[in-house]
């Protein structure tokens, strides 16, 4: 399965509407793996839209994130306007020419980012052995996108110790780790060699807010902060992020709701004769018979799934947000 190459991203509903002009409205995007039941936006002070973000606003977000992620070192965390800007910028914080090993198949933006910064990038199938040669930079996504593969911290920490002893980095993209806090290395933030990326929008259902976090040693945090410049995160995003990250009750409710919804939709895929390849509680990776043009079938029903051009028959689908969408999806899958 080679899904780590250049692929069109999900979310282009305008293109789908042009391809399928007779599809029922409204279009529903099942391609992005974002919580369809977002965090309820708090009432915001109108001044947040008029003034520059303040140091107090930034500190409130940092404190909420530190508590949510189990971070004790305030110098080990940086907020950014989405994790994508961190993925693009991080490779430039290491001198060009590093040997970068990425465990794949995985999210397709990592490899090009490291290559653009002049590093040697290679894909590997699993964690390297402590006894064998180790890369300068080991990058993994946990839980992995798109197959949901997970890595126990008990396996990662000894490897981290050896990589960092040699001056290397372990970069862990935890974009979907809000679903599985037990897998996170965030509590180790600040230690040598460990760099963690966290995404806010997926679990909280607010992808348009553009908020993410870099966790790492203080020198890396300072270098990225200089690269981003002042006022990197908008004031409204700071306020919403601080409220959501402090809301433990909503987080627990969301995990339960997503798990229940996933169990229901998985049974639907099985009844429809689809192979369950993997996933998380925000998306499912399925394979269908090559004779079934699932992309077109879904498009005609006003549904967008994530297709992989390098792997015909493989699709990633998020959760239907309501009973109407579920019925639309069921109608397609049972055909």
Q: Is the peptide bond before 148 cis (omega within 30 degrees of 0)?
A: no
Residues 72 and 208 in one domain: yes
Number of continuous H segments (helices) and E segments (strands) in the chain:
11, 13
Q: Which CATH number does the domain housing residue 89 bear?
A: 3.40.640.10
CA distance 102 to 81: 24
Q: Which CATH number does the domain housing residue 317 bear?
A: 3.90.1150.10
pLDDT at 5: 40
pLDDT at 318 > cutoff 70: yes
Residues 239 and 275 in one domain: no
Residues 26 and 61 in one domain: no
Residues 183 and 253 in one domain: no
pLDDT at 202: 98
* Mean of the per-residue pLDDT values of the chain: 94
Q: 71 in a domain, yes or no? A: yes
Tens digits of residue pLDDT in 195-254: 999 999 999 999 999 999 999 999 999 999 999 999 999 999 999 999 999 999 999 999
Residues 167 and 133 in one domain: yes
* Count of domains for the chain: 2
Q: In Å, what is the CA distance from 1 to each residue of 120, 142, 285, 309?
A: 22, 18, 12, 11
Rg (CA), the chain: 20
**Interval 162-174 mean pLDDT:** 97
pLDDT at 7: 42
Residue ending a domain, among 226, 246, 266, is 246
Tens digits of residue pLDDT in 98-123: 999 999 999 999 999 999 999 999 99
The Cβ of residue 248 has, within 10 Å, a number of other Cβ atoms equal to 10
Residue ending a domain, among 224, 246, 268, is 246
Domain that holds residue 206: 46-246
Residue ending a domain, among 246, 265, 284, is 246
Residues 209 and 269 in one domain: no
Residues 89 and 215 in one domain: yes
Residues 208 and 152 in one domain: yes
What region does 167 belong to: left with phi over 0, alpha with psi -120 to 50, or beta? left
């Amino acid at each position: 399965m080679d899904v780590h190459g250049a692929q069109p991203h999900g979310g282009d509903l305008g293109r789908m509407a042009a391809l399928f002009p007779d599809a029922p409205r409204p279009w529903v995007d099942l391609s992005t793996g974002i919580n369809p039941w977002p965090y309820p936006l708090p009432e915001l002070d109108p001044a947040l839209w008029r003034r520059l973000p303040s140091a107090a606003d930034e500190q409130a977000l940092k404190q909420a994130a530190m508590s949510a992620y189990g971070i004790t070192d305030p110098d080990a965390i940086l907020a950014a306007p989405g994790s994508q800007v961190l993925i693009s910028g991080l490779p430039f914080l290491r001198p060009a020419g590093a040997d970068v090993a990425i465990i794949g198949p995985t999210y397709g933006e990592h490899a090009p980012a490291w290559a653009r910064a002049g590093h040697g990038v290679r894909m590997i199938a699993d964690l390297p052995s402590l006894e064998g040669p180790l890369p300068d930079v080991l990058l993994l996504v946990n839980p992995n996108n798109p197959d949901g593969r997970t890595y126990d911290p008990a396996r990662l920490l000894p490897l981290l110790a050896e990589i960092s002893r040699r001056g290397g980095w372990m970069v862990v993209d935890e974009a979907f780790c809000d679903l599985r806090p037990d897998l996170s290395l965030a509590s180790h933030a600040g230690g040598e060699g460990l760099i963690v990326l966290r995404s806010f929008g997926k679990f909280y259902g607010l992808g348009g807010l553009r908020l993410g976090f870099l966790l790492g040693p203080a020198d890396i945090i300072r270098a990225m902060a200089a690269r981003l410049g002042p006022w990197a995160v908008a004031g409204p995003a700071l306020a919403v992020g601080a409220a959501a990250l402090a809301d433990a009750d909503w987080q627990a409710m969301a995990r339960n709701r997503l798990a229940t919804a996933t169990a229901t939709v998985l049974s639907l895929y099985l009844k429809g004769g689809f192979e369950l390849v993997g996933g998380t509680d925000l998306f499912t990776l399925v394979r269908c018979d090559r004779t079934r043009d699932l992309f077109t079938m879904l498009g005609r029903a006003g549904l967008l799934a994530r297709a992989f051009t390098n792997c015909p028959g493989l699709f990633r689908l998020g959760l239907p947000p309501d009973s109407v969408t579920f019925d639309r999806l069921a109608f397609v899958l049972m055909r």
